[in-house]
A and B are shown apart, each in its own frame.
Chain A
């Protein structure tokens, strides 16, 4: 039996800074996970990844990551690795957690 499809987003690292970035509906890259465009089907996910791969001068290594959806449809990381990527390391207040949330 085919496994149930999990909603997905496209994520990568910024070419210049290495920071974690997420691909948005507008075709841009955002520092915020909540801005990510969500693919709800297998074919939408393939298309999302293909679009995300079209920015080699902006990002490195785009890939699809599973998300769960909050009540209002906001994507949240499904796996702890992706959750860590939204925050930064746990031993210092560095990375995204230390940046103003409205950036």
Chain B
């Protein structure tokens, strides 16, 4: 894992000291709230519905056990004993007090963490495939690139006042687990005709009120050209992105309004100028970053302990089927720990659970943890022979839910239980769906299905790319939920289509059940997934099932 250089450490400490002073000046009246607000936001501190909220960056979703333990400590000492892992691979603390925040930031700095650029119109925390360094389909671990982008973008003077926030996602695999096509810039590693690794560059993806799939502006970019090329994109956006209307300020609108050909030409022109003056990244720096992400020393001893244990323990078998993915080293597996217990809050972990995860990462996982945008925790490198012991320990901590990729592995934003922007709640909806489908015991039969819930149009819950997406709205003073179908956040990305008028909270779970019944009825076999059925038959059969009266009246 990357360790802070002296520069990084001093930079983060200095920022905490400056913020400590800013808090003091707010409290003694030297700063008004209007003056203070942008300063606190630059340090990840929001004011939400019931309390302040501190959003802590987890660069490319990677943590070690020491950092996870410190998050547990923060949750316990300054919050209410838990943290919320988000779709941006961050963690949010929902109850900090203003005067404690500088101490929390110091505690984060102790373990090389911070909350910088988790808000504001800057380049935000770079997100990455949560299986990096372990995935069997990976060309190269993209985290050295992500770390380089972190260093390049942090406090970059040219990109501190962008028209709007800016999100970059990166994957080293052709199979996209990082939703790269729904980011301002998506980077997907590909090989050139002569086998060299580089990036496919996509621009102008995003969800929110105007969902768009990113457009490819470069099918292959050599790795060495990445920084000047990104600077070219950023400079075009910085100059031409709209600043007159917040809702039209993201780069996706610029790309859409300008047209792909023209924006491509502008980026390439800027790139030519910037590359000519670009001295290149110091090879020693690149080498040091790459060394920091060198794979662990794997133990290749062959063992059939897992196979034997699975035969003897149906619970373990069920969990391994859903929660353990293939690792590039056949002696290893990638373990996803579900933070979606039946009826629980998606993405929440208690301080005790965080400590258990830290201990297990240390004991069985080469001291590495990942946060996925799907709000789960990954132990990327676990020897298959250790999986039974790991599973037993997770079970004792209430962390052995066997549901990864299934209908109860729901993404949900905090919604109106916490968020000041929300128009409706999302957590209770996730809880009800999870409870209902666990009661039905149909989960495994239904198979791969992604439900994603947002409590407002800003789409933190990625509802547009859910196979079933749910959007909570305020309809004449009542919570109302719109359903979209057919969304997809992978390499075959698609924006879901709205199926019809929204549902009241009480009618929503029955509506989801209806959709599932229709799917089970229409599928050609247990291997045909919900998304495949949707793609084969379109929205009509689902619409007809959800709104039978409407269909009848059209027919009349």
Point out residues on A near B: beta carbons under 8 Å.
13, 15-20, 56-57, 60-61, 78-81, 84-85, 88-92, 94-96
Known: A90-B425, A94-B95. A80 touches B431 (CB 8 A): no
Q: Which residue of B lies closest to A59 (CB)?
A: B33
The 7 closest A-B pairs by CB, nearest first: A89-B417, A18-B51, A18-B52, A95-B50, A91-B345, A91-B427, A90-B428
> Does B477 belong to the interface (CB within 8 Å)?
yes
Q: Which residue of A lies closest to B97 (CB)?
A: A17
Q: Which residue of B lies closest to A88 (CB)?
A: B50
Is there contact, CB below 8 Å, between A90 and B417? yes
For the complex, give the distance between the alpha carbons of A92 and B26 in Å: 31
Interface string of B452-486 (1 = CB under 8 A from A): 00000000000000000000001001110000000
A residues in contact with B97, CB < 8 Å:
16-18
Q: Which residue of A lies closest to B31 (CB)?
A: A56
B residues in contact with A91, CB < 8 Å:
345, 348, 417, 427-428, 431
For the complex, give the distance between the alpha carbons of A18 and B48 in Å: 8
For the complex, give the distance between the alpha carbons of A16 and B345 in Å: 27
Our count of residue pairs bridging A and B at CB distance below 8 angstroms stands at: 74
Q: Which residue of A lies closest to B428 (CB)?
A: A90
> Does B535 belong to the interface (CB within 8 Å)?
no
Interface residues of B in 3-57 (CB under 8 A from A): 26-27, 29, 32-33, 47-52
Q: Which residue of A lies closest to B95 (CB)?
A: A94
Is there contact, CB below 8 Å, between B99 and A16? yes
For the complex, give the distance between the alpha carbons of A18 and B79 in Å: 13
With a 10 A CB-CB cut-off, give which of A13, A56, A60, A91 has the most chain B CB atoms: A91
Interface residues of B in 57-110 (CB under 8 A from A): 80, 94-99
Known: A18-B97, A57-B29, A61-B33. A90 touches B50 (CB 8 A): no
User: B49 is contacted by which of A16, A60, A78, A85 (Cβ under 8 Å)?
Assistant: A85
CB proximity of B399 to chain A, nearest CB, Å = 18
Sample of 7 further A-B pairs with CB below 8 A, known A61-B47, A90-B425: A15-B98, A81-B49, A84-B417, A92-B80, A92-B345, A94-B80, A94-B95
> Does B418 belong to the interface (CB within 8 Å)?
yes
Is there contact, CB below 8 Å, between B416 and A84? yes
User: B51 is contacted by which of A56, A61, A79, A95 (Cβ under 8 Å)?
Assistant: A95
Q: Which residue of B lies closest to A13 (CB)?
A: B47
- Classify the interface of chain A: helix, strand, loop or mixed: loop
CB proximity of B349 to chain A, nearest CB, Å = 13
Is there contact, CB below 8 Å, between B27 and A15? yes
Name the interface size band of chain B: 20 to 34
For the complex, give the distance between the alpha carbons of A13 and B345 in Å: 25
- Can you list 5 A-B pairs with a CB-CB distance of less than 8 A? A13-B47, A60-B33, A80-B477, A89-B427, A94-B80
For the complex, give the distance between the alpha carbons of A61 and B33 in Å: 8
For the complex, give the distance between the alpha carbons of A80 and B422 in Å: 12
Interface string of B412-456 (1 = CB under 8 A from A): 000011100000010110010000000000000000000000000
CB proximity of B48 to chain A, nearest CB, Å = 7
User: B418 is contacted by which of A17, A56, A60, A89 (Cβ under 8 Å)?
Assistant: A89
Is there contact, CB below 8 Å, between B51 and A19? yes
Known: A17-B97, A94-B95. A89 touches B47 (CB 8 A): no
CB proximity of A63 to chain B, nearest CB, Å = 11
CB proximity of B28 to chain A, nearest CB, Å = 8
For the complex, give the distance between the alpha carbons of A80 and B348 in Å: 24
For the complex, give the distance between the alpha carbons of A94 and B345 in Å: 14
CB proximity of B235 to chain A, nearest CB, Å = 35
For the complex, give the distance between the alpha carbons of A79 and B474 in Å: 10
For the complex, give the distance between the alpha carbons of A61 and B47 in Å: 10
For the complex, give the distance between the alpha carbons of A19 and B51 in Å: 5
A residues in contact with B98, CB < 8 Å:
15-18
Is there contact, CB below 8 Å, between B27 and A89? no
For the complex, give the distance between the alpha carbons of A57 and B31 in Å: 10
Known: A91-B431, A94-B80. A19 touches B33 (CB 8 A): no
A residues in contact with B50, CB < 8 Å:
18-20, 85, 88-89, 94-96
For the complex, give the distance between the alpha carbons of A53 and B94 in Å: 26
A residues in contact with B348, CB < 8 Å:
91
Q: Which residue of A lies closest to B414 (CB)?
A: A89
Known: A18-B51, A89-B418. A56 touches B345 (CB 8 A): no
For the complex, give the distance between the alpha carbons of A90 and B422 in Å: 14
Is there contact, CB below 8 Å, between A84 and B99? no
A residues in contact with B417, CB < 8 Å:
84, 89-91
A residues in contact with B47, CB < 8 Å:
13, 18, 60-61
A residues in contact with B94, CB < 8 Å:
89
B residues in contact with A95, CB < 8 Å:
50-51
CB proximity of A10 to chain B, nearest CB, Å = 16
For the complex, give the distance between the alpha carbons of A56 and B29 in Å: 8
CB proximity of A95 to chain B, nearest CB, Å = 5
B residues in contact with A60, CB < 8 Å:
33, 47
Interface string of B484-511 (1 = CB under 8 A from A): 0000000000000000000000000000
CB proximity of A55 to chain B, nearest CB, Å = 11
CB proximity of A46 to chain B, nearest CB, Å = 20
A residues in contact with B418, CB < 8 Å:
89
For the complex, give the distance between the alpha carbons of A92 and B427 in Å: 11
B residues in contact with A16, CB < 8 Å:
27, 97-99
CB proximity of A84 to chain B, nearest CB, Å = 6
For the complex, give the distance between the alpha carbons of A78 and B80 in Å: 29
A residues in contact with B29, CB < 8 Å:
56-57
B residues in contact with A96, CB < 8 Å:
50
For the complex, give the distance between the alpha carbons of A37 and B425 in Å: 28
CB proximity of B340 to chain A, nearest CB, Å = 13
Is there contact, CB below 8 Å, between B49 and A17? no
